[in-house]
């Protein structure tokens, strides 16, 4: 098993602290003071807070622990260990900002607050995904649903349904306008995540890698990223050297895991990443080619 360098671990911690700090500030200093909600476990925590008057940070701590336990039990410790740091850092940041009692906006402005939340959430999640981590919220729940119930469905589609249900419930608990503002926040957040990772919107990418360690990369992708790999033999026309090119279709976050693996183990690798609008096929997570909605 490849061990991370101390510098990489330090960078992971720094980016997670920055990312969770941005989210913690957005939640406690913008979302809650303006009576807004969101998707994910943030939205669930807001619903519980509004319904029972329990401190948001306490509810978030409990929900984070529940998600961590579910991932550990249903997906294994190999998956849950990726959530340890984020499951501690995120609730802690929320608690800190909750105690600071800050308020970004002088006057209550729901639209402006929704936009600010979307921007800060997008930057936060983008930085965390860029380091190859999951958020430990509805994204982890979507992964559980995919692995255990609907392996043929795309994770992003499952995630959309989960967040949509949470936002709809928020509309019932708070106000239907709050649900619309939550959609604004979600949309802006998704766009910012894509912008942080690649600068353009995409759900899937094709990653082509030419490396000196094709077998190690293949094993890493199959075992750790849990994606399929195809390969072809290519010839460098300048050198005449034959090598194998590995092709992987994955999410932007997963491509960052591959990039970091190669950076640590074969810095001379050449990697190209191409945004995909759609993928049709029989593979898990792809749109079925025989379905009418495969567009």
What CATH number is associated with residue 271? 3.30.70.120
pLDDT band at 293 (very low <50, low <70, confident <90, very high): very low
Residue 141, pLDDT > 60, answer yes
Can you give the pLDDT at residue 182?
Answer: 93
Tell whether 98 and 215 lie within a shared domain.
no
What are the tens digits of pLDDT across the range 146-180? 888 888 777 778 888 999 999 999 999 998 899 99
> Is 170 within 8 Å of 47 (Cβ atoms)?
yes
Length of the chain counted residue by residue: 295
Q: What angle (nearest 5°) sits at the alpha carbon of residue 83, between those of residues 279 and 285?
A: 15
Tell whether 56 and 27 lie within a shared domain.
yes
Please give the average per-residue pLDDT across 119-148, as a whole number. Answer: 87
DSSP 45: H
Tell whether 25 and 59 lie within a shared domain.
yes
Tell whether 22 and 106 lie within a shared domain.
yes
Please give the average per-residue pLDDT across 89-118, as a whole number. Answer: 92
Tell whether 39 is covered by a domain.
yes
Tell whether 134 is covered by a domain.
yes
Tell whether 144 and 263 lie within a shared domain.
no
Tell whether 217 and 115 lie within a shared domain.
no
Can you give the pLDDT at residue 169?
Answer: 94
Tell whether 164 and 77 lie within a shared domain.
yes
Tell whether 1 is covered by a domain.
no
Domain that holds residue 221: 204-276
Residue 278, pLDDT > 80, answer no
Sign of CA pseudo-dihedral 254, 259, 265, 266? positive
Tell whether 90 is covered by a domain.
yes
- Give the Cα separation of 174 and 172 in Å (integer): 6
Among 169, 197, 225, residue at a domain's last position? 197
Burial of 215: CB neighbours in 10 Å, binned 0-12, 13-18, 19+: exposed
Tell whether 102 and 177 lie within a shared domain.
yes
Tell whether 281 is covered by a domain.
no
What are the tens digits of pLDDT across the range 172-223? 999 889 999 999 999 999 888 877 876 654 568 899 999 999 999 999 999 8
Tell whether 169 is covered by a domain.
yes
Tell whether 128 and 184 lie within a shared domain.
yes
> In the block, which residue shows the tokens 């999410």?
251
- Give the Cα separation of 263 and 269 in Å (integer): 8
Tell whether 285 is covered by a domain.
no
Among 165, 197, 229, residue at a domain's last position? 197
Tell whether 64 and 180 lie within a shared domain.
yes
Contacts 24+ apart (CB under 8 A), 214-219: 214/243, 214/244, 214/246, 216/265, 217/246, 217/258, 217/261, 217/262, 217/266, 218/246
Can you give the pLDDT at residue 139?
Answer: 85
The total of structural domains in the chain comes to 2
Can you give the pLDDT at residue 289?
Answer: 58
Tell whether 263 is covered by a domain.
yes
Q: How does DSSP assign 194-231, residue by residue?
A: HHHHTSS--SEEEEEEE-S-HHHHHHHIIIII----EE
Please give the average per-residue pLDDT across 263-278, as a whole number. Answer: 85
Tell whether 184 and 68 lie within a shared domain.
yes
Tell whether 99 and 43 lie within a shared domain.
yes
- Give the Cα separation of 60 and 241 in Å (integer): 55
Distances from the Cα of 287 to the Cα of 154, 187, 209, 268, angstroms: 7, 22, 24, 34
């Amino acid at each position: 098993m490849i061990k991370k360098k101390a510098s990489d671990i330090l960078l992971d911690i720094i980016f997670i602290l920055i990312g969770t700090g941005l989210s913690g500030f957005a939640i406690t200093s913008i979302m809650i003071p303006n009576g807004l909600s969101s998707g994910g476990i943030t939205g669930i925590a807001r619903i519980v807070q509004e319904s029972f008057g329990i401190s948001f940070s306490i509810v978030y701590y409990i929900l984070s622990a529940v998600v961590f336990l579910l991932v550990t039990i249903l997906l294994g410790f190999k998956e849950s260990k990726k959530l340890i740091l984020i499951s501690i850092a995120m609730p802690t940041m929320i608690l800190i900002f909750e105690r600071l009692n800050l308020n970004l906006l002088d006057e209550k402005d729901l639209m402006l607050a929704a936009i600010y939340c979307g921007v800060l959430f997008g930057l936060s999640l983008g930085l965390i995904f860029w380091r190859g981590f999951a958020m430990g919220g509805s994204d982890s729940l979507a992964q559980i649903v995919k692995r255990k119930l609907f392996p043929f469905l795309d994770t992003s589609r499952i995630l959309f349904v989960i967040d949509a249900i949470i936002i709809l419930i928020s509309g019932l608990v708070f106000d239907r306008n709050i649900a619309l503002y939550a959609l604004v926040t979600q949309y802006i957040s998704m766009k910012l995540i894509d912008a942080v990772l690649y600068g353009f919107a995409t759900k899937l990418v094709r990653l082509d890698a030419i490396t000196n360690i094709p077998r190690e990369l293949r094993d890493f992708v199959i075992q750790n990223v849990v994606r399929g790999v195809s390969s072809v033999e290519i010839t460098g026309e300048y050198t005449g050297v034959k090598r194998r090119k590995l092709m992987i279709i994955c999410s932007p976050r997963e491509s960052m895991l591959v990039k970091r693996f190669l950076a640590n183990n074969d810095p001379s690798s050449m990697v190209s990443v191409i945004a995909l609008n759609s993928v049709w096929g029989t593979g898990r997570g792809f749109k079925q080619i025989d379905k009418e909605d495969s567009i």
